[in-house]
């Protein structure tokens, strides 16, 4: 939650294929710039099981323009 509150993480609803496409093309995901409040609400929904496995992830805001694709907003938390 600290990362979300600092604006350094966000909830993402992209599937694996979309996430790969956006990362390969250095595109910002649709929810990357949503508000801290929105992300906190969505993260709470993730934590309490309102989303099924694979529907949402928490991603760290790094740099979508980074030369190393693995450093482009990687997944920090996923629903299992």
pTM of the entire predicted model = 0.92
Mean pLDDT of 27-40: 97
Q: What is the pLDDT of residue 70?
A: 87
Residue 4: CB atoms within 10 Å:
19
CATH number at residue 52: 3.90.800.10
Residue 56, domain extent: 2-78
Mean pLDDT of 33-62: 96
Percentage, residues of the chain above pLDDT 70? 100
Place of tokens 């990357």: 32
Say how far apart CA 10 and CA 75 lie, in whole Å.
10
Residue 35: CB atoms within 10 Å:
10
The total of structural domains in the chain comes to 1
Q: What is the pLDDT of residue 80?
A: 78
Mean pLDDT of 62-66: 94
Contact 70, 37 (CB under 8 A): no
Average pLDDT value over all residues in the chain: 95
């Amino acid at each position: 939650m600290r990362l979300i509150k600092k604006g350094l993480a966000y909830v993402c609803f992209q599937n694996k294929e979309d996430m790969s496409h956006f990362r390969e093309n250095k595109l910002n995901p649709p929810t990357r710039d949503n508000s801290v409040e929105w992300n906190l609400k969505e993260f709470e929904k993730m934590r309490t099981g309102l989303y099924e496995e694979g529907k949402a992830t928490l991603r760290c805001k790094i740099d979508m323009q980074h030369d190393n694709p693995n450093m482009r907003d990687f997944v920090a938390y996923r629903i299992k």
